[in-house]
């Protein structure tokens, strides 16, 4: 389950906006334990294989490992 404050922050992002998720900004266990660093981008991202037209009722997020562009996960959340 996601933290309500984080969910509001994610939905407030505009298309293409980014922010860093790391052990300094987020206290989630695995992030702290493994000192993970991600850049979260609100999509869609033109040229990415998951690209589709922007829909404000969908929150498409791309989690890209900082310093490892090839490591990327995409999630889509729906406003329901």
With b for 16 or more beta-carbon neighbours within 10 A and e for fewer, the 40-49 pattern comes to: bbbbbbeeee
> Does residue 10 lie in a domain region?
no
Q: Is residue 2 part of a domain?
A: no
| Structural domains of the chain, count | 1
Q: How confident is the model at residue 31 (pLDDT cuts 50, 70, 90)?
A: low
Answer whether residue 70 is part of any domain: yes
| Predicted TM-score (pTM) of this structure | 0.67
Strand partners, 59: 77
Confirm whether 53 is domain-assigned: no
Rounded mean pLDDT, 24-36:
69
Highest mean pLDDT among 17-21, 29-33, 45-49, 54-58: 17-21
């Amino acid at each position: 389950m996601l933290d309500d404050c984080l969910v509001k922050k994610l939905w407030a992002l505009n298309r293409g906006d980014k922010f860093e998720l790391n052990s300094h900004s987020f206290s989630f266990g695995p992030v702290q334990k493994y000192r993970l660093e991600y850049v979260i981008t609100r999509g869609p991202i033109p040229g990415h294989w998951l690209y589709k037209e922007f829909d404000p009722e969908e929150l498409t997020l791309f989690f890209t490992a900082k310093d490892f562009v090839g490591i990327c996960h995409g999630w889509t959340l729906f406003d329901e």
